[in-house]
Amino acid sequence: MDIFVQQLINGLVLGSIYALVALGYTMVYGILGLINFAHGDVTMIGALVSATLIQLLHAAGLPVPVSLLLAGGGAVIVCASLGFSIERIAYRPLRNAPRLAPLITAIGVSILIQYSAALIWGKQYIALPAIITPPSIEFAGAQINHLQIAIVILAACIMGGLIWFIHHSRMGRAMRATEQNPAVASLMGVDTHAVIAMTFLLGSAIGAIAGLMVILYYGIGHYFMGFMLGLKAFTAAVLGGIGNVGGAVIGGLLLGIIESLAAGYIEQLSGGLFGSNYRDIFAFLVLILVLLLRPQGLLGQRSGDRA
Amino acid sequence: MTGLRYASWSRQLLIISALIVAPFAIEMLLGRSWLRITDVALLYVMLALGLNIVVGFAGLLDLGYIAFFAVGAYSYALLASPQLAIHAPVLVIIPVGAALAALFGIALGAPTLRLRGDYLAIVTLGFGEIIRVLLNNLNRPINITNGPQGITRIDPLHISQFSFGHSHSLGGITFTPLHQYYLIFLAFVLITILISVRLEHSRIGRAWRAIRDDELAAQAMGIHTRNLKLLAFAMGASFGGVAGCLFASFQGFISPESFQLIDSVMILCMVVLGGIGHIGGVILGALLLTILPETLRYIGPLQQQIFGTVYIDPADLRMLLFGLALVLMMLLRPRGLWPKRQLTGQLTNRGG
C-alpha cells in the first residue's frame, strides 16, 4: 500500500495535464472531425516558450510568481497565435477535401513545428533552473508538494471555466451549434469560420498552460516531447469519448492514474519481467482496448460514423 | 493503363538493360556512395509500393508501416546471425519474413479495421511504437533482440554457395556486393511492380477502390469489406517484410533505431508526394525522397564555407522540408506530383 497513495497523487497531477491537452483534441474533433496531430506539438511550443521566458525573467531579477505569470501569458499568446495560424493556413483550405488530406496535412504541420523548435531551441534537453523549490506536505503517507497542488487546482479551474464558457456564453452556444451541424448553424447566422478559429485559439491557449505545467513539473523539455504527450492526450480524449469536453477531463485523469499505478506496480506484478520502461505502452494498450470494447468512449454516444 | 502490359517488347528490353547497366554508370560517374544510395532507394521503392497497396489502393491510412519492415528485418537477423546461432537458408527466411509480417498485419488489422480512417491512423501509429519498444526491451529476461544494441554480424544474402557479400567476376566484369545487391533488389522491385499492377486491375483491386471511395456503397454491392481490408493489410505488410529481410542482409546490422515513426512517415510521404494510388508516381516519390535528401548532405559543408558555422543541421532541414512538402502538396497538388489519370469518366476529371 505504501506507494499506492503516492502513485495515485502522481497520477492525478499527470492526469490533469493530460486532460488539459485532451481538451484541445476533443474540441477540434467535435467540430471538424479532424485529429489535429499538431496539437501535442503546440503544447511543446508552450512548454519551451515558457521555459525560455522563465529563464530570461528570472535572470532579469523578477520575483518568481511574477515571472511565472508573465511566462504563462507569453506562452498562451504564442500558442494561441500558432493554433490560429495553423487553422487558417493549413486546415481551412481543406474544409471540403477528402478525409485523408487534412490528416496528412496535420502530420506535416506536426513535423514542421517539431523541427522548427529543433532549429530554435536545439535538439538537446532544455532544463529549467531550480528556481522554485516547492515545499512538500505529508498526506496519508505520501509526499505532495505545492506545485502539484497548484497544477491540479489550476487545471480544475480551467476545465470548469471552459465547460461554463461552452454552456453559458454566446460563443459557446455557437460552438455547440456548429458541432451539431455546421451547415444548419451557418444558416442560422453562426459564423462557423470564426467558431472554428476560436476553437483552435482556445484549445491552443489551454495547451500552452499545460505546456507550462509540464515544464514546471518535470523541469526539462525537448523538441520531441509533444509527440508522446499528444498521443497520450489523444488517448485520454478517446477514452472519455472524443468530442465530449467532460469526457476529455475524465479520460485524462483516468489515463494519468492508470499509467502511474501501472508504472508503479508492473515490476512487482510481473516478478521483474517488465520494468517501468514499458510505461509508454500503457497508453496505447488503453487506446486499443477502448477502441475495441467501447469505441464511443466512456461518455460518448454511439454513432455509426465514428467507429 | 499502367505500362508493362502494353509496352512493346523491344521497349521493355531496352528499359531492363538500361536498369542493369545503371549501377556501373552510377559508380563511375558519382562514386560508390551513390551506388549504395541507389540500392537503398530500391528498397524504399519496394516499401512505398507495399504501403501504396494499403493507403493508395484500399484507402487505409497506416502510420505504423515501418513495423512490418522491422518484423521482416528482425526475422532475417534472428534466423541468419550468431544472435540465436541459427543460419537458415535465405530461401526459407524470406518467405518466413513475409509470412510473419503478413501475420502481424492481420493481427493489427483484425481488431482495428472496423475503425474509421483517422482512428486507424492513430492505432497503427501506436502499433508501430509498441513494436519498437518491444524490440528495444526484449533483451531480458531472455535475450532475443539484444535490445538497443541491435543485432550484428548478420549473414549476407546467399543462395547455396553464391554469397552476395563477396565480389564475383563474370566475363571480365567484376560485380561488387553493391552491384549484386542492386540486381537482386531490382528483381524484387520488378516483381513488386508486377504484382501491384496485376492487383490493381484485378477483381480485388477494383473492390479495394470501391471500398476506398465509399465503403458503405461497396458493402451494399456485396463486397466483403472486412476481409478485403485485411487482405490489403496483409499484402502490404508482406512487401514490407520482404524489404525488411533484404535490408537486414544488406546492412549486416540492425537496431530498433532504424524503425522509428519518422520512417513510417517518410514512406507515407513517398506515396503521397508521388501520387497516391499511382504505381509510377509512388516509384517517383520513393526515388525522389531517397535521393534528394542525400544532396542536402552538401548543405552542411556549404554553410561551413559561407558562414563559418553550421546553422541548420542538414538532417533537420530535411525534416523541415518534408513537413513543408506534405502541407504544400495537400494544399496545392493533393493528388501528387504524378497522379493517376482518371479514366473512369468522373466529373472531377479535369485532364488530370
In this prediction the ipTM stands at 0.84
- CA closest to A242 among chain B residues: B119
Residue range B345-349: mean pLDDT, rounded: 44
Highest mean pLDDT among A70-74, A244-248, A282-286: A70-74
Nearest CA-CA distance, residue B7 and chain A, Å: 33
Kindly determine whether residue B323 and residue A112, on different chains, have CB atoms separated by under 8 Å: yes
Q: What is the pLDDT of residue A61?
A: 85
Residue A137: what are its φ and ψ, rounded to 5°?
-125, 155
Q: Is residue B3 part of a domain?
A: no
Q: Cα separation of B188 and B84, whole Å?
A: 27
Kind and range of the H or E element at A158? Answer: helix A146-168
Q: Is the pLDDT of residue A250 over 60?
A: yes
Q: Is the pLDDT of residue B333 over 80?
A: yes
- Considering only the C-alpha atoms of chain B, give the largest distance between any 2 of them, rounded to a whole number of Å: 66
H runs (alpha helix) in chain B = 9-30, 32-51, 66-79, 90-112, 117-137, 177-200, 203-213, 215-220, 225-251, 261-275, 279-295, 299-307, 314-332
Angle at which helix B9-30 crosses helix B32-51, to 10 degrees, equals 140
Q: What is the pLDDT of residue B167?
A: 82
- CA closest to A101 among chain B residues: B330
Chains A, B: CB pairs < 8 Å: 123
Q: What is the pLDDT of residue A274?
A: 66
pLDDT class of A277 with cuts at 50, 70, 90: low
Tell which of B133, B270, B326, B335 to mutate to test the A interface (max A CBs under 10 Å). B326
Whole-number mean pLDDT of chain A? 88
Q: How many folded domains does chain B comprise?
A: 1
Residue of B189, B194, B204 lying closest to B48 (CA atoms)? B189
Residue range B298-306: mean pLDDT, rounded: 77
Q: Is the pLDDT of residue B115 over 80?
A: no
Residue range B94-105: mean pLDDT, rounded: 95
Between the CA of residue B71 and those of A161, A271, B108, B137, B269, what are the distances in Å? 48, 28, 13, 15, 21
Q: Is residue B299 part of a domain?
A: no
Q: What is the pLDDT of residue A307?
A: 36
Q: Is the pLDDT of residue B136 over 60?
A: yes
Residue of A28, A48, A180, A18 lying closest to A106 (CA atoms)? A28
Q: What is the pLDDT of residue A65?
A: 86
Whole-number mean pLDDT of chain B? 86
Between the CA of residue B57 and those of B118, B173, B204, B212, B236, what are the distances in Å? 17, 42, 10, 7, 10
Between the CA of residue A4 and those of A143, A236, A268, A273, what are the distances in Å? 12, 22, 13, 21
Paired strand residues for B174: B169
Residue range A203-207: mean pLDDT, rounded: 96
Model confidence pLDDT, tens digit, residues B206-263: 999 999 888 889 999 999 988 999 999 999 999 999 999 999 999 999 999 889 888 8
Kindly determine whether residue B141 and residue A273, on different chains, have CB atoms separated by under 8 Å: yes
Q: Is residue B236 part of a domain?
A: yes
Paired strand residues for A44: none
Q: Is residue B208 part of a domain?
A: yes
Model confidence pLDDT, tens digit, residues B25-74: 888 888 888 899 999 999 999 999 999 999 999 988 888 999 999 999 99
Q: How far is CA A198 from the centre of its chain?
A: 17
Q: Is the pLDDT of residue B344 over 60?
A: no
Model confidence pLDDT, tens digit, residues B280-296: 999 999 999 888 888 87
Fold held by A2-130+140-293 = ABC transporter involved in vitamin B12 uptake, BtuC (1.10.3470)
Tell which of B122, B214, B329 to mutate to test the A interface (max A CBs under 10 Å). B122
Q: Is residue B264 part of a domain?
A: no
Q: Cα separation of B308 and B310, whole Å?
A: 7
Q: Cα separation of B175 and B166, whole Å?
A: 9
- CA closest to A99 among chain B residues: B117
Greater confidence (A137 vs A36) lies with A36
Residue of A244, A249, A196, A149 lying closest to A32 (CA atoms)? A196
Percentage of the residues of chain A whose pLDDT score is greater than 90 = 53
Contact, A101 vs A94, CB < 8 A?
yes
Residue range A150-166: mean pLDDT, rounded: 94
Nearest to A103 among B61, B261, B276 (CB): B61
Which chain A residues touch B130 with a CB distance below 8 Å? 281, 284
Contact, B235 vs B52, CB < 8 A?
no
Nearest CA-CA distance, residue A25 and chain B, Å: 13
Greater confidence (A305 vs B298) lies with B298
Nearest CA-CA distance, residue B138 and chain A, Å: 10
Q: What is the pLDDT of residue B307?
A: 78
- Residues near B262 by beta carbon (within 8 Å), at least 6 away in sequence: B319
Nearest to B119 among A118, A274, A291 (CB): A291
Nearest CA-CA distance, residue A254 and chain B, Å: 19
Q: What is the pLDDT of residue A276?
A: 63
Q: Cα separation of B86 and B61, whole Å?
A: 36
Residue of B239, B253, B255, B245 lying closest to B145 (CA atoms)? B255
Q: Is residue B324 part of a domain?
A: no
Looking up cell 515545499 gives: A135
Chain B residues bordering chain A (beta-carbon distance below 8 Å):
55, 59, 61, 63, 111-112, 114-119, 121-123, 125-127, 129-130, 133, 136-137, 141, 261, 265, 268, 272, 276, 312-313, 316, 319-320, 322-327, 330-331, 334
Residue of B174, B172, B177, B148 lying closest to B162 (CA atoms)? B177
Which chain A residues touch B67 with a CB distance below 8 Å? none
Percentage of the residues of chain B whose pLDDT score is greater than 90 = 38
Tell which of A28, A99, A111, A296 to mutate to test the B interface (max B CBs under 10 Å). A111
Q: Is residue B98 part of a domain?
A: yes
- Hey, is A139 helix, strand or coil? strand
- Name the DSSP letter for residue B7: S
Which residues constitute the domain of residue B77? 15-258
Q: What is the pLDDT of residue B192?
A: 95
Q: What is the pLDDT of residue B350?
A: 43
Model confidence pLDDT, tens digit, residues B185-205: 999 999 999 999 999 999 999
Q: What is the pLDDT of residue A20?
A: 96
Between the CA of residue A129 and those of A68, A153, A276, what are the distances in Å? 13, 24, 27
Paired strand residues for B162: B159
Nearest CA-CA distance, residue B137 and chain A, Å: 8
Which chain B residues touch A227 with a CB distance below 8 Å? 261
Q: Is the pLDDT of residue A89 over 50?
A: yes
Q: Is the pLDDT of residue A303 over 70?
A: no
Q: Is the pLDDT of residue B352 over 60?
A: no
Q: Is the pLDDT of residue B2 over 80?
A: no
Q: Is residue B326 part of a domain?
A: no
Q: What is the pLDDT of residue B348?
A: 47
Cell of B178: 553493391
Q: What is the pLDDT of residue B174?
A: 80
